[in-house]
Amino acid sequence: MTWQVLNPYDQKCIGSVDLVDWSKIDRWLDEARTLHEDRQAWIPVHERIAILQRASSLMHERAESLAMQIAREGGKPLVDARAETSRAVQSVELCVHELFASGGRQIPMELTEAGAGRTAYTFREPIGPVVAISAFNHPLNLIAHQVGPAVATGCPVLVKPAKDTPLSCKSFVEILYEAGLDERWCRFVPCTDDVAEQMVTDPRTAFFSFIGSAKVGWMLRSRLAPGTRVALEHGGAAPVIVDENIPRENVIPSLLKGGFYHSGQVCVSVQRVFVPRAELPDFAAALAAGAKALKVGDPTNEETQCGPLIRPAEVDRIEAWVAAAVESGAELAAGGKRIGPTLYHPTVLIDPPRAAKVSREEVFGPVVCLYGYDSIDAAISQANELPYSFQAAVFTERQHIADYCVERLSGSTVLVNDHTAFRVDWMPFAGRRHSGLGTGGIGYTMSDMSPEKMVITRSSSGLD
């Protein structure tokens, strides 16, 4: 069996990958477990550093072709695909940096009489075989975030890419091989969902890294073998509070970027924006004008700002959600219609009902909803009412309002005067509640994949 890889813009086949069956994965899991259990087989840290440095150099040399591959298989506009490629190169470099900066720590023991005469320290060891399942929306950098830390910490890893975007993952794994990594330490595993579940839930899997839908992630977590550690990164319906009297030119460009970057196919994309009710008409007009001016089309064109959605079914879904919101009373300020099988106009809705799907579920498309509010507490209450909690934002020129929102908005991160889709690769990145489990970011993932082991030594003078 194979996966045919389609360009989401024109639906033409641009490649294929052969699927891996369970018999081969079974052998690879045995191989991974054996590698981990045989300490003589572990790759020395200096060799891991050299491999990652060579991989980073190769990626830098091939940056333009990698960016074009992202644009062609994932539909991300070329300007943003180039930025993703640069981030992926940096993510690999960050793995090296973390190896230089990481290590164990001393644990004070003589804080009580019971600990007297003892010294203690920790060091890190690889957790064991890692299974990573990734998402389509950042097909190179997400793989770098999952596989890079596994290689850096000395964990054998099996990686399943998203069905729509396996080519970038394949390229990354092949670059690691070219950089000197033995193939046994990293396996490219495109496979069917049932085979993937069997791989994830196998007791030989020590750590499961998942980026994708909450429904799938939480289901897989419930079926893990005892002892398997896990990191889940899902999405949300990111809220933004706009304070009164803030100049619109300080807000609109940021919301346009945060709401329509990659056509909204981002787990922390701006989705729900709360604006003082008296200012809502003018604010909506300005945001709608900006949305209408965005260039939608072929992602490989330099001028394109919004590319296609990943597949036609996603346009069908979003079209239905927007139509239902409008029928229920939302005002359509911009967009609201498809351009083709996978293209959808950047859309701005005003006051969709709180029960509408666009208000309660992650749209994962080019739709931004505006809501009028009469008090900051009412806006915060509505922002927090969903079971998701990831990144939130507030735009204000008043420090006490910034502090108030930071304290009360539900989220692992609250951005002040910036959009919710902001991220750099070394920062902690974590969904709470339904939005995920654990903390992403290169250093944080490496920590998860290399738990501390403690040594306690009793001084000889204290022996009986």
Per-residue CA distances from 456 to 113, 119, 124, 463 (Å): 15, 6, 15, 14
Cα separation, 139 vs 131, in Å, equals 16
Task: Provide the 10 A C-beta neighbour count for residue 278.
Answer: 12
Kindly state the DSSP code that residue 417 receives in the 8-state scheme. Answer: S
**Per-residue tokens: 334:** 């911009």
- Could you say which of 95, 169, 191, 267 is catalytic? 267
Q: Which residue has the tokens 């950098």?
A: 141
Q: Spell out the residues 6+ positions from residue 176 whose beta carbon is closer than 8 angstroms to its own.
A: 51, 55, 147, 151, 186
- Could you say which of 84, 98, 233, 362 is catalytic? 233
> In this structure, are residues 134 and 142 in contact, taking their beta carbons and an 8 Å threshold?
yes
Pairs from 85-89 (Cβ < 8 Å, separation ≥ 24): 85/59, 85/140, 85/141, 87/141, 87/144, 87/425, 88/59, 88/140, 88/141, 88/143, 88/144, 88/172, 89/56, 89/59, 89/60, 89/63
Residue of 422, 405, 416 whose CA lies nearest to 259: 422
Query: Residues, the chain, total?
Result: 464
Cα separation, 202 vs 25, in Å, equals 11
Catalytic residue check, 267:
yes
Cα separation, 148 vs 79, in Å, equals 24
Phi first, then psi, for residue 239 (nearest 5°) are -95, 150
Active site residues: 233, 267
